[in-house]
């Protein structure tokens, strides 16, 4: 390889250099601002995580798996996965191999940003070597990889269903400019390298192109405009990048160490939340996932649009979107970059100022404290109080199993605090949690048995209960049966489908125990979408503004999903899901405790 120009410079590199400089400075300033917004505790956590080899390894693994290979997308849809990883990984390798090539031949030129990028323009092939043709092949191979991804991306714009997506995001104008400039970069690169293939060498792609279209590509007068076009496409893309969804590329690199350090969202506009909002690639997977999407008008309330409005600081829409959400958490479960849409919304709700704030200090804890020394304390919760069939069944099961228990809120008790938490009234929720902690810790119980997943989640996540074990009734029943304390009388021929309540499944990760229990009672069938993709019943306490009528379509949609295998009965483990489904279902809807009570001795 020899250099074609002594100066090793041509004006066409300027658009690229400006774009590159702009994006680097922008990202650096953004990074510093985010860092300053983190609380002292969070900063400490992040710094400690960077010296912890275990977390550091996870960071590196996530960087490769998420940013380059898009492993989560591959699992979702092969074509979608290939499309994204071919562009990301292919482009990354083009840059890396380009730099290695430059390093091998002209290491002195590495310090100019542009030289490795426009390597083929500045060099001439003096003799063909194995090493040279190896690099040529690699460069052409990865270019082909990216080009195939671009072709798929164009097809996806026209027919997204081929990629397993029913609906995609409506792109904003800047997003479209970014998209088109990104699409333009690689064909232009192919073209530009096709011109220089007879000078700087090339492989199966560029060389062949040069030979086939020799009358055009062989004419070196056409060469410079094409390199200019390539450089301008790169420059435009980089200039517009911070204002488009492509900001997710640098953002995700920052998000991964922050997330792995275990810090939590505190303000929806600052620190971690801000990185998350900018990491949203607007892919639109959450639009199909959102249970509200069954009503077409609600499509614009998916997390992808919340993120967009947060970037635009459109307060009216931000409030509307965050108040409407059911907080089922499904968008977070399907999200490619794991943005917890529910937590973002709760943080947004917590910003609101109220003139009246509840005060629970007057509630006399002593009179409410149950006596349960060494016993199991059963907390039914508010929702179970409205579905007494569940608490009756639960009591009957406990008696049959010979468990010494105490019913904590038989005559009504305090709320667990989760509904307040979901409404964003965090301080009030903490007060209520403290009150309940006083009651439960004062009871002397060994186990806290809960039959409501809403309560269960907050007990698990927020309560400090010392040695008291918190257990959901699905898990407890499973244990009782496994230990032989409950005898199954007769498994019948009926088939059951299990509905994963949002708070139990996605919220607490309990999927297997209820299924284990049901399969002992009869035939277990699965819904069309289940486990972490189960569809919210529509009755959730999470939504503040959705009225009764507006939820009907969601409930009916969830029921259609559950009855795809035509089961004889629907089983759930949440009193709220149970009463919501019972309203519209065409077959019996029962809590897991009721089924078990009927079928055990």
Looking at the Cβ atoms of 224 and 553, the one nearer to other proteins is: 553
Instruction: Kindly indicate which of the ranges 31-39, 128-136, 198-206, 352-360 contains the residues binding other proteins, using the contact rule CB under 8 A.
Output: 352-360
Looking at the Cβ atoms of 53 and 547, the one nearer to other proteins is: 547
Among residue numbers 386 through 415, which ones bind other proteins (CB under 8 A)? Answer: 386, 412-415
Looking at the Cβ atoms of 67 and 327, the one nearer to other proteins is: 327
Looking at the Cβ atoms of 125 and 409, the one nearer to other proteins is: 409
- Inter-residue contact 207 to 197 (CB < 8 Å): yes
Element of type H or E holding 286: helix 285-289
- Which residues, including other chains, have CB under 8 Å from residue 554's CB and lie 6 or more apart? 291, 292, 294, 295, 326, 536, 537, 538
Give the residue, chosen from 376, 383, 408, 508, that forms a contact with other proteins under the rule CB under 8 A. 383
Smallest gap from Cβ 429 to other proteins, in A, equals 9
Instruction: Kindly indicate which of the ranges 218-226, 291-299, 357-365, 439-447 contains the residues binding other proteins, using the contact rule CB under 8 A.
Output: 357-365
Instruction: Kindly indicate which of the ranges 162-170, 214-222, 492-500, 538-546 contains the residues binding other proteins, using the contact rule CB under 8 A.
Output: 538-546
Among residue numbers 492 through 531, which ones bind other proteins (CB under 8 A)? Answer: none
Contact call for residue 417 and other proteins (CB under 8 A): yes
- Inter-residue contact 301 to 252 (CB < 8 Å): no
Instruction: Kindly indicate which of the ranges 113-121, 137-145, 230-238, 383-391 contains the residues binding other proteins, using the contact rule CB under 8 A.
Output: 383-391
CA distance 32 to 156: 36
Looking at the Cβ atoms of 177 and 363, the one nearer to other proteins is: 363
Q: How many residues bind other proteins (CB under 8 A)?
A: 35
Q: Cite the beta strand spans of 2-153 per DSSP E.
A: 2-3, 123-124
* b/e per residue 130-167 (b: at least 16 CB within 10 A): eebeebbebbbbbbbbbbbbbebbeebeeebeebebeb
| Beta bridge mates, 496 | 524, 569
Smallest gap from Cβ 146 to other proteins, in A, equals 50
Give the residue, chosen from 14, 79, 363, 365, that forms a contact with other proteins under the rule CB under 8 A. 363
Looking at the Cβ atoms of 222 and 545, the one nearer to other proteins is: 545
Looking at the Cβ atoms of 149 and 413, the one nearer to other proteins is: 413
Contact call for residue 370 and other proteins (CB under 8 A): no
- Inter-residue contact 235 to 15 (CB < 8 Å): yes
Among residue numbers 178 through 197, which ones bind other proteins (CB under 8 A)? Answer: none
Contact call for residue 385 and other proteins (CB under 8 A): yes
Q: Give one DSSP letter per residue of 206-238, joined into a string.
A: HHHHHHHTHHHHT-GGGHHHHHHHHHHHHHHHH
CA distance 538 to 129: 66
Looking at the Cβ atoms of 299 and 540, the one nearer to other proteins is: 540
- Which residues, including other chains, have CB under 8 Å from residue 116's CB and lie 6 or more apart? 95, 98, 99, 101, 102, 109, 110
Half-sphere exposure of 521 (CA within 13 A, CB side): 31
Smallest gap from Cβ 418 to other proteins, in A, equals 9
Measured distance between the N- and C-terminal CA atoms of the chain, rounded to whole angstroms:
85
Looking at the Cβ atoms of 54 and 353, the one nearer to other proteins is: 353
Give the residue, chosen from 306, 334, 527, 546, that forms a contact with other proteins under the rule CB under 8 A. 546
- Which residues, including other chains, have CB under 8 Å from residue 408's CB and lie 6 or more apart? 370, 372, 377, 378, 379, 380, 439, 440, 443
Give the residue, chosen from 41, 359, 467, 493, that forms a contact with other proteins under the rule CB under 8 A. 359
Contact call for residue 584 and other proteins (CB under 8 A): no
DSSP SS3 for 407: strand
Give the residue, chosen from 7, 173, 548, 601, that forms a contact with other proteins under the rule CB under 8 A. 548
Element of type H or E holding 200: helix 173-200
Taken in order 153, 66, 530, 580, is the CA torsion positive or negative? negative
Smallest gap from Cβ 329 to other proteins, in A, equals 18
Contact call for residue 420 and other proteins (CB under 8 A): yes
Looking at the Cβ atoms of 180 and 354, the one nearer to other proteins is: 354
Closest CA to 265 of 55, 40, 38: 38
Contact call for residue 316 and other proteins (CB under 8 A): no
Taken in order 160, 163, 168, 174, is the CA torsion positive or negative? negative
Give the residue, chosen from 328, 393, 432, 477, that forms a contact with other proteins under the rule CB under 8 A. 432
- Residues in contact with other proteins by CB under 8 A are 352-360, 362-363, 382-383, 385-386, 412-415, 417, 419-420, 423, 425, 432, 539, 541, 544-549, 576, 579
């Amino acid at each position: 390889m020899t250099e074609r120009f002594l100066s090793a410079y041509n004006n066409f590199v300027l658009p690229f250099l400006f774009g590159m400089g702009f994006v680097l400075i922008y990202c650096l300033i953004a990074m510093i601002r985010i860092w300053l917004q983190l609380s002292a505790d969070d900063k400490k956590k992040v710094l400690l995580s960077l010296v912890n080899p275990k977390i550091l390894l996870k960071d590196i693994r996530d960087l490769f798996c998420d940013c380059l290979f898009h492993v989560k997308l591959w699992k979702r849809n092969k074509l979608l996965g290939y499309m994204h990883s071919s562009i990301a990984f292919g482009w990354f390798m083009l840059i890396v191999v380009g730099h290695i090539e430059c390093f091998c031949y002209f290491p002195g030129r590495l310090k100019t940003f542009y030289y490795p990028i426009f390597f083929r323009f500045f060099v001439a092939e003096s003799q063909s070597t194995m090493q040279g043709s190896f690099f040529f092949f690699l460069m052409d191979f990865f270019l082909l990889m990216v080009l195939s991804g671009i072709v798929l991306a164009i097809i996806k714009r026209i027919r997204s269903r081929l990629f397993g997506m029913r609906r995609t995001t409506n792109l904003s104008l800047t997003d479209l400019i970014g998209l088109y400039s990104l699409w333009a970069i690689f064909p232009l690169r192919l073209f530009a390298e096709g011109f220089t293939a007879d000078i700087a060498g090339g492989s199966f792609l560029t060389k062949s192109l040069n030979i086939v279209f020799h009358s055009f590509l062989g004419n070196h007068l056409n060469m410079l405009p094409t390199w200019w076009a390539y450089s301008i496409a790169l420059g435009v893309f980089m200039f517009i990048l911070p204002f488009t969804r492509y900001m997710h590329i640098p953002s995700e690199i920052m998000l991964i160490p922050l997330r792995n350090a275990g810090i939590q969202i505190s303000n929806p506009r600052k620190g971690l939340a801000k990185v998350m909002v900018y990491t949203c690639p607007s892919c639109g997977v959450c639009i199909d996932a959102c249970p509200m999407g069954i009503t077409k008008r609600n499509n614009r309330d998916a997390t992808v649009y919340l993120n967009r409005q947060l970037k635009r600081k459109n307060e009216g829409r931000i409030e509307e979107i965050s108040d409407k959400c059911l907080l089922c958490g499904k968008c977070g479960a399907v999200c490619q970059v794991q943005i917890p849409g529910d937590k973002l919304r709760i943080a947004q709700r917590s910003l609101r100022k109220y003139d009246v704030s509840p005060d629970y200090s007057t509630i006399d804890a002593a009179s409410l404290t149950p006596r349960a020394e060494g016993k199991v304390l059963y907390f039914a919760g508010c929702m179970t109080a409205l579905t007494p069939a569940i608490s009756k069944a639960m009591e009957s099961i406990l008696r049959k199993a010979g468990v010494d228990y105490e019913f904590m809120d038989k005559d009504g008790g305090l709320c667990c605090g989760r509904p307040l938490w979901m409404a964003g009234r965090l301080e009030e929720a903490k007060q209520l949690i403290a009150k309940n902690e006083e009651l439960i810790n004062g009871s002397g119980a060994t186990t806290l048995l809960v039959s409501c997943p809403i309560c269960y989640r907050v007990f698990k996540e927020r309560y400090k209960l010392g040695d008291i074990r918190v257990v959901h009734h699905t898990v407890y029943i499973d244990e009782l049966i496994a230990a032989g304390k409950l005898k199954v009388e007769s498994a019948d021929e009926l088939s059951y489908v299990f509905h994963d309540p949002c708070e139990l499944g996605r919220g607490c990760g309990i999927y297997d125990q209820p299924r284990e229990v049901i399969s002992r009672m009869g035939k277990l069938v699965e819904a069309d979408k289940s486990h972490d993709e189960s569809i919210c019943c529509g009755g959730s306490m999470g939504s503040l503004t959705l009225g009764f009528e507006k939820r009907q379509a969601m409930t009916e949609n969830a029921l259609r999903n559950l009855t795809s295998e035509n089961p004889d009965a629907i089983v759930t483990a949440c009193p709220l899901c149970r009463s919501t489904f019972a309203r519209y279902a065409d077959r019996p809807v029962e809590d897991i405790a009721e089924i078990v009570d009927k079928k055990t001795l």
